[in-house]
Structure 1
Amino acid sequence: MTIRRGPAPSGDESRGRRLFAVSSNGGPPVRRSVRNARLAGVPVAFAGRRAVGVGKRALGRSAAEVDREIQLRTAQHIFEVLGELKGCAAKLGQLLAIYELALPPELAEPYKIALSRLHDAAPAMLPGAVDTAMTASMGPDWRWYFREFDERRAAAASIGQVHRAVWHDGTPVAVKVMYPGGRAAVAGDLEQLRRFTGLASVFLPGADITGVLDAITECVLEELDYAAEARYQEAFATAFADDPDIRVPRVLARHGDVLISEWLDGTPVTRVVESGSQAERDRIGMLMVRFVASAWSRSGLLYGDPHPGNFRVLPDGRLGVVDFGACAVWPPEGFDEMAQECVRAVFRGGPPELAAVTRRYGFAEPGRAFDAEALFTTIAPCTEPFEHDTYRLSTRWLRKHVLRLTNPRLSNVLRQLSLPAYITPFARSMLTLIAALCQLGTEGPYRAEIARWFPELDEIAHGPADEQPVASAVTPLFRDQRPVSAPVG
């Protein structure tokens, strides 16, 4: 259904800054009491599996086999619950999606089904609920701002949805609107997610769980702030305004929990993952690397959610980027020094140097012993993409490293370490990007692209740069190559 422009608005626009109220026709997908019960059931089930595991070990099954079974069943349960709940739960599910990619193919199918629910099963708001949401933020005469407004959902978001419209000046726009009651649902989710701390060893062995959960909570709450998202998006749009390969849509307006920005026509990168040619997979994957890496120096911001669903291949071949809720001012104080010392220790040092850096920057609790040799042996193979002129990432490569890093055996040195909370936004961004590149199976010059934006890190890792500048060697990869996929609206 498409509506036409209505009469001019009346009254004070300050009413557009009211929060959404929960309404009978537009509440969260699941009642809060039901959401809480389902989330609370996950730790209970985990405890039950551990109790059953004691009996299995007593019957002669190996501890490693039992622990692995518990891990797999717990992960599957988490995915299934999050897939039903959406909201904040879906955001956590996106962070855990890398786990599904790391599973052997014969075990991954249940996870793929559950994850598809996270992305596709959000119920669309009915027209009445859409009107309630738009009225709450833009006032009862909100239709005046649009020449046209399609009340059918164009895309789903974890806590809202996107509509296609035409702004009053004739600009095609994307209208992102939050579910009525979305904030209350997310607040309840965050409260319940604290009960997951006992399960964290399944995914984050040895981490500062409270600190990491606080950081995740802060990130999720920021994604509910459309004013902050608008500022981030405008900063990215300004930084990439003249880029020949990357397009960030401009923000036209923001009223309360409604964000209006330019519409991007293009092919979702999820479709390139499914059916793109290898040449297109390589080109798009490397453009994603370029966008995330160059954003630091261009805008001073970290793009926190680089999964395929947030990128489009535009008709002219450029990479379009959407959804700027999960961004952060970056880097924090001291991060550059930490990155340089870590690179020096891994590429040019050895176990003693890496052990010193690990302690200096809070990856190991003071006084806690850990096996420095094992740590170096575990971390060093992850540098493979930067040891070759070109390298192909794949789900097989990802599976090998993730399963090795998350091995539940007590002998896994990473279980003796921690994850500083301030690393969480960076870890989320990099893991999501790596997972996307592995899904695409992108082959490209990873070392050269990173060196283009962080030459000091490349010099630390590999010595002084060659005579030919890295930038001139990289740039032609993205010229005169256009997508073979047909663009879709």
Structure 2
Amino acid sequence: MLSIQDESLVPAPILAALNMVRQGADVMPRSQLNQVLDAELGPDWTSKLQCFDYKPLAAASIGQVHRAVTKDGFQVAMKIQYPGVADSISSDIKNVKLLLDYTNLIPKGLYLDKAMEVSEEELSRECDYELEANNQKRFRALLSDAEGFYVPDAMDDISSKRVITSELVAGVPIDKVTLLSQETRDYVGKKLLELSLRELFVFRFMQTDPNWSNFLYDERTNVINLIDFGAAREYPKSFVDDYLRMVLACANCDRERVVEMSRRLGFLTGMESDVMVDAHVQAGFLAGLPFSKPGGFDFRSTNITQSISNLGATMLKHRLRPPPDEVYSLHRKLSGAFLACIKLAAVVPCRELLLQIYEQYQFGDETNDIQLSTSAS
């Protein structure tokens, strides 16, 4: 997540180092790579391919990606997990916690134990490539008729729990789209925000890793190719209902409604100090700012993530409970979408996108929604 911030939050040299971790880790030696492929796909795995490129296309923290061609001439990308990664998650998380506890850098209000528990669960899911293949197929079906998006096909016969093979797609990561025209940047920013809203409020199933390399824009086709579905999760209908109510309340600067929904969702207990409630509400209003007025919102005008971070110290000091489990991954994705729009300097009709979703949304409990439908217009 730190690797996709901007220089207003993270110094440039640290960003450069984190960017290497995001997409340029050390690669496996050829002998070790063959051992993994033999173990996962069988010693005859090469018989399923015309060719396999031993030089990886990319290498990140969990695995590396190689280009290959199937027997029928189909170009594919094979993601191969480093040996021992899945088994080391628990000990790695404990080591990080020990380090953070020892340095005493983490404020009590971060509720580190809860954050670590959620992180361990999410990382374990990311290491299961069979689960990722199923997630990918599900997104491919959900977005099959969606204009501007494409999800590549997964190849079951050349995949396993530690190897996933997918159709190879073209495109540049989001941070490279910054070199293209304003019109293109506006389009890509709009599509990314549209995707996030649809995932949460229509599908209730979201890919929660906002890494810019997971969204490949193909200028030739004007399509965003979506890859890497290891980090994906479902959200309960009751949670999504109340979260949409809260988003509209934040957009409309409705303090009473924001507090009400925050208590229902589990952000607040009802026993917080006025200082904490004020900081929480102001953070909500800032997050709702792009959705507050009709027309295009210029993400260059306000660095929303930095402004919310400035309120974070107050909330960490006065918070009485950890946030609900659902929002760890959800807010990572939503803040990633905002960061992408800021990086692109995009102008996006955010309120229109939200109201399109809201007007078609079917709440499980229709009570108390008359006020929202009135204030949303």
Equivalent of residue 304 in structure 2, options 398, 402, 407: 398
Q: In 2, Cα distance between the equivalents of 1:447 and 1:354?
A: 17
Is the Cα contact below 8 Å between 1:395 and 1:438 reproduced in 2?
no
C-alpha contact 2:21 2:60 (8 A) present in aligned 1: no
Equivalent pair of 2:144/2:150 in contact (CA under 8 Å): yes
Q: How big is the alpha-carbon RMSD for the aligned residues of Structure 1 and Structure 2?
A: 2.9
Equivalent in 220, 224, 243 of residue 319 of structure 1: 224
Counterpart position of 1:162:
65
Please state if 1:419 is matched with 2:323. Answer: yes
Q: 1: distance between equivalents of 2:16 and 2:244? A: 40
Choose 178-187 or 455-464, whichever is displaced more. Answer: 455-464
1:175 aligns with 2:175: no
1:282/1:203 CA distance change after superposition, 3 Å:
farther
Q: CA deviation at 1:260?
A: 0.8
Show the counterpart of 1:195.
Answer: 98
Deviations 1:451-472, CA, capped at 9 Å, x for gaps: 2223368986573777xxxxxx
Give how far 1:349 is off: 6.7
- 1:361 Cα deviation (Å)? 3.0
CA distance in 2, matches of 1:439, 1:284: 11
- Please state if 1:257 is matched with 2:168: no
The answer to whether the Cα contact below 8 Å between 2:201 and 2:240 also exists between their aligned partners in 1 is no
Larger radius of gyration: 1
Deviation by residue 1:348-404 (Cα, 9 ceiling, x = unmatched):
575444434433432234644343345434432332211231112139513541442
State whether residues 23 and 58 of structure 2, in contact with CA within 8 Å, keep that contact through their aligned partners in structure 1: no
Task: Tell me if 1:222 matches 2:128.
Answer: no
1:101–1:399: 8 Å Cα contact kept in structure 2? no
Does the 8 Å CA contact 2:204/2:237 hold for their aligned counterparts? no
Q: How far apart are the structure 2 equivalents of 1:380 and 1:464? A: 15
Work out whether 1:184 is the aligned partner of 2:87. Answer: yes
**How far, CA to CA, are the matches of 1:202 and 1:434 in structure 2?**
27
Question: How far did 1:214 drift?
Answer: 1.1
- Equivalent of 1:361, from 239, 244, 265? 265
Alignment correspondent of 2:366? none
- Check whether the contact 2:175–2:212 (CA below 8 A) recurs between aligned residues: yes
Q: 1:118 to 1:395 in 2, by over 3 A?
A: farther
Query: Which one of the candidate residues 343, 347, 369 is aligned to 1:439?
Result: 343
Deviations 1:326-354 (A, max 9, x none): 0012x225212321442464355754444
SS at match of 2:303: helix
Match of 1:305 in 2: 209
Cα contact 1:370–1:413 (8 A) shared by 2: no
Paired with 2:305 and 2:288, the residues of 1 have a C-alpha distance of 15
Q: Please give the residue correspondences for 1:51-450 in structure 2 after superposition, counting only pairs within 5 Å.
A: 95-97=1-3, 101-103=7-9, 108-195=11-98, 198=101, 206-253=109-156, 254-273=159-178, 275-296=179-200, 299-314=203-218, 315-329=220-234, 331-343=235-247, 345-347=249-251, 350-365=254-269, 367-371=271-275, 372-388=277-293, 389-394=295-300, 397-398=303-304, 400-406=306-312, 408=313, 412-413=314-315, 415-417=317-319, 418-450=322-354
Q: Secondary structure at the match of 2:229?
A: coil
Q: C-alpha offsets along residues 98-127 of structure 1, whole Å, 9 cap, x if unaligned? A: 665542xxx722322322232244112222
Q: Paired residue for 1:62?
A: none
Gaps of 5+ in 2: 362-368
In the alignment, the residues of structure 1 paired with residue 136 and residue 356 of structure 2 have an alpha-carbon distance, to the nearest angstrom, of: 24
Contact 2:108 2:317 in 1 (8 A): yes
Q: What stretches of structure 1 of length at least 5 have no aligned partner?
A: 1-94, 467-489
Matched residues in 2 for 1:392 and 1:349: separation? 19
User: Mean Cα displacement is larger for which, 414-423 or 318-327?
Assistant: 414-423
What is the percent sequence identity of the aligned residues?
A: 24
Q: Distance in 2 between matches of 1:377 and 1:256?
A: 44
Q: Quick one: which amino acid aligns to residue 181 of structure 2?
A: S
Larger mean CA deviation between 224-233 and 293-302 belongs to 293-302
- Between the aligned partners of 1:201 and 1:387, the Cα distance in structure 2 is 39
